Amino acid sequence: MIQKHIGEPELDLSLVLPVYNESGNLRVFIPELSAALQETGRSYEIIAVNDGSTDDSLEALRELKQDEPNLRVVDFRRNFGQTAGFAAGFDLSRGMHVITMDADGQNDPADIARLLVVMDEGYDIVSGWRQDRKEPFFSRRLPSMIANRIIGRSTGVVLHDYGCSLKIYHRDVAKHVRLYGELHRFIPALASGMGVRVAEVPVNDRPRVYGKSKYNISKTVRVVLDLVTIIFLLSYLARPMQLFGLAGLLSGGVGVSLGLYLTAYKLITGADIGSRPLLSLAILLMILGVQFLVMGLLGEMQARTYYEVQSKPVYVIRSEE
């Protein structure tokens, strides 16, 4: 496993459950979830993070806690988003394995046992792969398929269903990742830089019974932007000059070539080139080339600061014998 000094786990399982306006589902889902965890025969805790719900989700959690001693209720001051809920749960978790799920009841708690069986084979992450999904094809499933393929090709971590919240992480992974934006969807990709072993298990996808989905077009846009961030972080975080420098050399090279062509054309034919759009393009490309190179240098300086000031290692050891 990935080696990182984060303290010894106190429990076998920590289940992280971000909650936002799910009072109707919680009263059914939490008892079902608790029963499924008890059947595993392992010690556990359920960390329910109330993400600024405007309904009576917090009251429902407090009532459920009276009958479920392993339920821990965390209440945010306002709505910070699902990623923040996962981040808080990861920070507070005490288990060797950290399980994430949605609170809407669409993830089936009965699938946890099957994921744990695979996890025990030595994997760092086991991800659910939803079968017979209930969401609309064009607004949900098609964008998900495209995003899954892009992430897989960009990171080398190929999963059919990055959007499935039902996942199990080894404690070292959960404690190591830093989340913001909508990055909870991309944890396996983020963790790929640590050299994790990832498996995928088909799971049941159930229809929502109460409430309505929180997913909308604005969230799709944010996910796409975070995807661009992920690709950059994984590919060029430690070497930004290779991205911006290449763009600068290409842009500046084309600009210089055009400038040399126009100069030769002027010397040979004596024609006026001052009003030609090609001259403006050449000058613009050369300026852009310089700007890209400067951005690459600044990025290199920031990367150096990132690693040196925080004493952040550029490697992660799996084991030492």
Q: What is the mean pLDDT of residues 169-189?
A: 85
The reply to whether 146 falls in a domain is yes
CATH number at residue 114: 3.90.550.10
Does residue 143 register a pLDDT over 80? no
Which residue reads 């004596």 in tokens?
A: 270
Q: Which residues contact 8 (CB under 8 A, 6 or more apart)?
A: none
The pLDDT, as a whole number, for residue 118 is 97
Both tokens assigned to 169:
């992480």
What confidence tens digit (pLDDT) does each residue in 266-282 have?
899 988 888 889 999 99
Is 5 a residue whose pLDDT tops 50?
no
Mean pLDDT confidence for 6-13: 84
pLDDT at 74: 94
Over 60: is that where the pLDDT of 80 sits? yes
Indicate if 92 and 187 belong to the same structural domain: yes
- The answer to whether residues 208 and 258 belong to one domain is no
Q: Mind listing the pLDDT tens digit for each residue in 98-127? A: 999 999 999 999 999 999 999 999 999 999
pTM: 0.75
For residue 109, being part of any structural domain is answered with yes
Q: Which of 183, 205, 236 is the last residue of a domain?
A: 236
- Quick check: 179 and 169 in contact, CB under 8 A? no
51: closest CA among 14, 100, 17, 94? 17
Write down the pLDDT at residue 319: 46
Q: Residues 130-146: what's their mean pLDDT?
A: 76
pLDDT band, residue 219 (cuts 50/70/90): low
Which ranges in the chain belong to alpha helices (H)? Answer: 23-39, 57-67, 82-92, 112-119, 142-155, 171-176, 187-190, 217-236, 241-269, 277-309
Beta bridge pairs of residue 168:
99, 126
Which residue has better confidence, 6 or 297? 297
Average pLDDT, the chain: 85
pLDDT at 239: 75
Instruction: Let me know if residue 314 belongs to a domain.
Output: no
- Estimate to the nearest angstrom the gap between the alpha carbon of 158 and the chain centroid: 14
Q: Is 218 exposed, middle or buried (0-12, 13-18, 19+ CB in 10 A)?
A: exposed
Q: Which of 7-16, 164-173, 223-232 has the lowest mean pLDDT?
A: 223-232
Written as one letter, the residue type at 69 is P
Cβ partners under 8 Å of residue 137, min gap 6: none
The DSSP 8-state label assigned to residue 141 in this structure reads I
Same structural domain for residues 131 and 276?
no
Q: Is the same domain home to 215 and 261? A: no
Q: Is residue 296 domain-shared with residue 159, that is, in the same domain?
A: no
Report whether 74 contacts 6 (CB < 8 A).
Answer: no
Same domain, 248 and 119: no
Q: Which domain holds residue 203?
A: 11-236
Give the domain-ending residue among 214, 236, 258. Answer: 236
245/301 Cα distance (integer angstroms): 14
> Does 6 map to a domain?
no
Q: Report angle CA 118, 119, 123 to the nearest 5 degrees.
A: 110
What per-residue confidence (pLDDT) applies to 12?
97
Does residue 160 share a domain with residue 36?
A: yes
Q: Nearest Cα to 97, choosing from 197, 173, 179?
A: 173
Counting the structural domains of the chain, the total is 2
What SS3 state is found at 202? strand
Residues 152 and 275 placed together within one structural domain of the fold: no
Same domain, 61 and 185: yes
pLDDT at 153: 79
Instruction: Judge if 27 and 93 occupy the same domain.
Output: yes
**Whether 65 and 180 share a structural domain:** yes
Whether residue 148 lies inside any domain: the answer is yes
Same-domain check for residues 216 and 170: yes
pLDDT tens per residue across span 29-52 = 999 999 999 999 999 999 999 999
Query: For the segment 294-305, what is each residue's pLDDT rounded down to a tens digit?
Result: 998 888 788 767
Read off the pLDDT band of 242 (50, 70, 90).
Answer: confident
Among 206, 236, 266, where does a domain finish?
236
Residue 190: pLDDT band with limits 50, 70, 90: confident
